Amino acid sequence: MVKISKNTNLLITIILFTLTLILWLKTLIDFFSYQFPINSLLIFSMWFGFLIYFFLYIRILYLVVKKIESDFNTEKCNWMWIFIPLSVICTSPVCYSNTIFIAPYTMSTVIRLIGLSFSFIIFFNKKLNQDLRIFLITLLGFFSLIPNDRCENMFNYSWIDLLGASPLTYLPTAITIIFYSFYSYNYLTKKQAFIILSLVSFGSLMLAVGHRIHFLW
């Protein structure tokens, strides 16, 4: 069996963390680059969320560099990984075709279906150790950021011009994977992880619903 070290997983998780932070910041910059009707509540929520995310980035990066682990994770929550497919479900209403399991674009549908099923395959496979599970699930985080969405809105305009599609649809899933990884390695307590992962899924759902009812944009 392939051996993956904890340090390798932490490194690629930090790289993924940095990438998602950059994507979030670029989204905020794009808001000012395109004139598009948008609810001020969304602007406030996106900036407030980014500041919290940036704070968590600095804090966790410091803990990882200093190798300061939590003392409260002696008993792991075996079902915390369920937030990964849940984040996909909560994000999916933002763009779907007939059913939330199918997106209007092929690549988006592929990412959605893999995002929903891959976690179950990994975490129910008893032959995989924790390090290999985290490695595979982190790869899913990178996979979820493949450009896949061609919906024309202020989130996607610049990406469509640059790459032909946007990588932002499943950004919440990548963020969920990041915090799950740090929780698995004791850089978040059970309570901290549960609160953060719940907020990511809830925020994704509110964003999706707000778009579907044309309240946010």
Summarize pLDDT for 131-154 with one digit per residue, the tens: 999 999 999 999 999 999 999 888
Kindly give the parts of the chain with pLDDT less than 50.
none
The CA distances from residue 118 to 144, 181, 209, in Å, are 12, 15, 25
pTM of the full structure: 0.95
Closest by CA to 43, choosing from 53, 57, 30, 59, is: 30
Exposure string of 44-74, with b = 16+ CB inside 10 Å and e = fewer, is ebbeebeeebeebbeebeebbeeeeebeebe
- Tell whether 40 is covered by a domain: yes
Q: Is residue 73 part of a domain?
A: no
Instruction: Specify the pLDDT at position 70.
Output: 67
| Residue 193 burial (C-beta neighbours within 10 Å; 0-12, 13-18, 19+) | buried
37 within domain boundaries: yes
Distance CA 182, CA 188 (A): 6
Q: What is the pLDDT of residue 37?
A: 72
Question: What whole-number distance in Å separates Cα of residue 166 and Cα of residue 149?
Answer: 5
- 113: burial class by Cβ within 10 Å (0-12, 13-18, 19+)? middle
Instruction: Quote the CA–CA distance of 47 and 120 in Å, as a whole number.
Output: 33
DSSP 2: -
**Phi, psi of 104, deg, nearest 5:** -70, -15
1 belongs to a structural domain? no
Are 87 and 179 in contact, with CB atoms under 8 Å apart?
Answer: no
Model pLDDT, residue 213: 86
Task: Residue 206: give the domain boundaries.
Answer: 6-68+82-212
201 in Cβ contact with 87 (< 8 Å): yes
Q: Domain for residue 75, yes or no?
A: no
Does residue 217 lie within any of the structural domains?
no
Count up the domains in the chain and report the number.
1
Q: 49 Cβ partners below 8 Å, 6+ apart?
A: 24, 203
Whether 59 is in a domain gets the answer yes
Task: Note whether residue 76 is domain-resident.
Answer: no
